[in-house]
A and B are shown apart, each in its own frame.
Chain A
Amino acid sequence: MSPVTEKGETSLMAKAIREGIFAAIISFFMFLLFVGVETYQDINNALVWRMRWGLLFIFVAIAAIGRFLTVAFIKPHLDARKLSKAKSGILEISTQKSFFHRHFLKIALVFLLVYPFLMMLIVGKQGSLKYVDNFGIQILIYVMLAWGLNIVVGLAGLLDLGYVAFYAVGAYSYALLSSYLGLSFWILLPLSGIFAALWGIMLGFPVLRLRGDYLAIVTLAFGEIIRLVLINWTEVTKGTFGISGIAKASVFGIWSFDVGAPNNFAKVFGLASSSVYYKVFLFYVILALCLLTAYVTIRLRRMPIGRAWEALREDEIACRSLGINTVTTKLTAFATGAMFGGFAGSFFAARQGFVSPESFVFLESAVILAIVVLGGMGSLTGIAIAAVVMVGGTELLRDMSFLKIIFGPDFTPELYRMLLFGLAMVIVMLFKPRGFVGAREPTAFLKERKAVSGSFTKEGHG
């Protein structure tokens, strides 16, 4: 027996070495121009170049060694694991769940409720600002946006590449109406949602007949149109300068967070003035908005309209022949998804105090869509996990000053943020094409609710 495996081992090694050398050659030619040659402007502002052999060598070596390790060790290991799993006959989705698994949602909710105070306890008032604002609020905004988009993409199966347009509509509705008419946050929050929903219907009408990728490009175009109008309609939107000095939200008009106001929150309670209170308040507002989104999504899935969405995703023709009105089904999906985008937008404007078209580029739509797909379309928990991983991960890179000790003082992790984000998107998708949470809980079932693999749900063709 041993000679056979030995022969297998050597041939595997030989193959791995061959593949490694091949990868080295390919990567050498790929990186020769872009990494090997550095272009920069000299003192006379003329473009000149110099070779970077060292860096090129590192890139090639990484490619070669990576390929060698993949072929020699990682792939056989993965194959063996897959084989043993298939042999043992245990399905991936087991009914036995750990305590943490069963109570995951409760634990997460409790954690989120105490999160700002926990952070204040651990790192102090000023230190917690970063964690509450950059991590807490930032991630929750993306969770909310992704849950909103999930209604369109995950439930109704309509591929929307311009979701950020509704986010922009919400943000600008709040920014413009509060600065021109002086309306308060709590009036404008629902109004922004309604405006965004109207825009959703406006987008919905022309694309009703379109399917799949035609739908995708028109939604993308719609997002770009909104952004270009925001840039160019300078009389109203102030163009690329954006609108600044947007009014802060207040606690239902009872306490204000403006420093000069007589009913300032800190003054009323006799606390030292600090910007932390406002951030903590905003944290709970966005948390409430997220919970609202989740609640509405869960309830809608059980209502006729939600079932119609999912039916539309699975098979449009069958849907139509069963008498479902696909026009209203699609329009409500667009409008509902857009409404949550609008809520998130007005919240964003209140939090930043500043909006400009820069915040609503296509990349944002792509990031939101990526979170929805990486989380496992249709699964609220999965999407929340994906948002934490992707947004939190890239936020973490912003303040990794210890990396400077390793790579030298010139190293700026900020620069690599989006590069790593893109790579992470690719890698997660390759290993988990169905997203983090691949199982689906059906809304309609016979006798007993059973989770099914995500592979059995369709993604819809628009």
Chain B
Amino acid sequence: MRKMGRTIQEMRPHRRTASRGKQMDYFVQQLINGLTLGSIYGLIAIGYTMVYGIIGMINFAHGDIFMLGGFAALIVFLVLTSLFAGIPVALLLLVMILVGMLVTGLWNWTIERIAYRPLRGSFRLAPLITAIGMSITLSNFIQVTQGPRNKPIPQLVTDVYHFGDITIALKQIVIVVLTAVLLAAFWYIVNKTPLGRAQRATEQDRKMAALLGVDVDRTISVTFIMGAALAAVAGAMYLMYYGVSSFTDGFTPGVKAFTAAVLGGIGSLPGAVIGGLLIGLIESLWSAYFSIEYKDVATFAILAIVLIFKPTGLLGRPEVEKV
């Protein structure tokens, strides 16, 4: 959290009492920063919203899955750069992301099998508690095995483009473009493939879907793997953007992403992305124009205000309760 604040502060150009054009540039700069941050939140939020949509549970460990993804990318980076010196950066990033996706997918699959599936028929709070337990376990597991200190890596992508007073880093472009591509692929999977159909059917009515021959257990497992894979991408991007990983990294981005999912209407995929972008924008604009210290307070306060007026989020379906 503090880390994020610092980075934004560094990015902040000197505010001059200059012409309106300069102020406009400053605003656009903040928009770009917010968009980058929002893309990362959006990627994590999809995992929350999909799991919530399909089994109606808050997967509290998802933030730590994101952290695991970041660590996997970090370790792959270290191993590859020391084994193959001079490996092209694009290939390196690709391997980091792919390995991260596979490993965190495997982790989330195992966690679902061990900690969530046995409690699926149980009461609603039981899987929530195991998820919180898993979240504590994962972050402490990394602390024990990899040490409590921050792990810095050198900057991977350093190119920067200038458009007048606006600075766009290549890594920001990579993050936004990758997010867009993944979302398109994801949208295609959910809306156009048999797997996506099974997911949507399971979401609407698990029992009926099972009766019609959908393998519900498998569909739920795949959903967890997909969510984890997206979180792993977000983790790798986060590492590339900030250049540092720590075992506590899961909590704050996790809560922000969860906030994003709820803000957009939990259970709705476009909602998660819009929520993520909104949270990213609120955060960077608030710290640019008001105060960095209170940016998280602003985020949470806006969440509360939105929910007062739209209790099911921006794009969420209103819950109809039948008696």
**A209 part of interface (Cβ distance < 8 Å):** yes
**B178 part of interface (Cβ distance < 8 Å):** no
**B300 part of interface (Cβ distance < 8 Å):** yes
Interface centre among B71, B76, B307, by most chain A C-beta atoms within 10 angstroms, is: B307
Which residues of the partner chain A approach B106 to less than 8 Å between Cβ atoms? Answer: 26, 29-30
Pair B123/A459 contact, Cβ less than 8 Å: yes
**A210 part of interface (Cβ distance < 8 Å):** yes
From residue A259, how far is it (CB to closest CB) to chain B in Å?
A: 37
Contact with B along A292-329 (1 / 0, CB 8 A): 00000000000000000000000001000000000000
How far does the alpha carbon of A366 sit from the alpha carbon of B134 in the complex, in Å?
12
Pair B82/A34 contact, Cβ less than 8 Å: no
A34/B142 contact (C-beta < 8 A), A213-B52, A317-B321, A433-B119 known: yes
Which residues of the partner chain B approach A231 to less than 8 Å between Cβ atoms? Answer: 293
Pair B107/A30 contact, Cβ less than 8 Å: yes
Which residues of the partner chain B approach A404 to less than 8 Å between Cβ atoms? Answer: none
Pair B308/A425 contact, Cβ less than 8 Å: no
Question: Could you tell me which residues of chain B, from 192 to 210, have a CB within 8 Å of some CB in chain A?
Answer: none
Pair B130/A33 contact, Cβ less than 8 Å: no
A430/B303 contact (C-beta < 8 A), A34-B71, A34-B146, A423-B133 known: no
Which residues of the partner chain B approach A37 to less than 8 Å between Cβ atoms? Answer: 75, 78-79
Contact with B along A197-241 (1 / 0, CB 8 A): 000000000110111111011101110110011011000000000
Which residues of the partner chain A approach B132 to less than 8 Å between Cβ atoms? Answer: 366, 369-370, 425
Q: From the candidates B119, B301, B323, name the one contacting A317 in the complex (CB within 8 A).
A: B323
**B94 part of interface (Cβ distance < 8 Å):** no
How far does the alpha carbon of A26 sit from the alpha carbon of B110 in the complex, in Å?
8
Pair B137/A422 contact, Cβ less than 8 Å: yes
Interface centre among B110, B123, B152, B301, by most chain A C-beta atoms within 10 angstroms, is: B123
Pair B262/A213 contact, Cβ less than 8 Å: yes
- B residues sitting closer than 8 Å to A (CB atoms) are 52, 58, 68, 71-72, 74-76, 78-79, 82, 99, 102-103, 106-107, 110, 114-115, 118-119, 122-126, 128-130, 132-138, 140-147, 149, 151-153, 251, 255, 258-259, 262, 266, 293-294, 296-297, 300-301, 303-305, 307-308, 311-313, 319, 321, 323
- A residues sitting closer than 8 Å to B (CB atoms) are 26, 29-30, 32-35, 37-41, 47-49, 153, 159, 206-207, 209-214, 216-218, 220-222, 224-225, 228-229, 231-232, 317, 362-363, 366, 369-370, 373-374, 377, 415-416, 418-419, 421-426, 429-430, 433-434, 455, 458-459, 461
16 further A-B contacts with Cβ under 8 Å, apart from A34-B142, A218-B307, A366-B136, are A29-B102, A29-B106, A30-B110, A39-B151, A49-B79, A153-B125, A209-B308, A211-B311, A212-B124, A217-B262, A224-B255, A419-B140, A422-B133, A423-B133, A425-B129, A430-B119
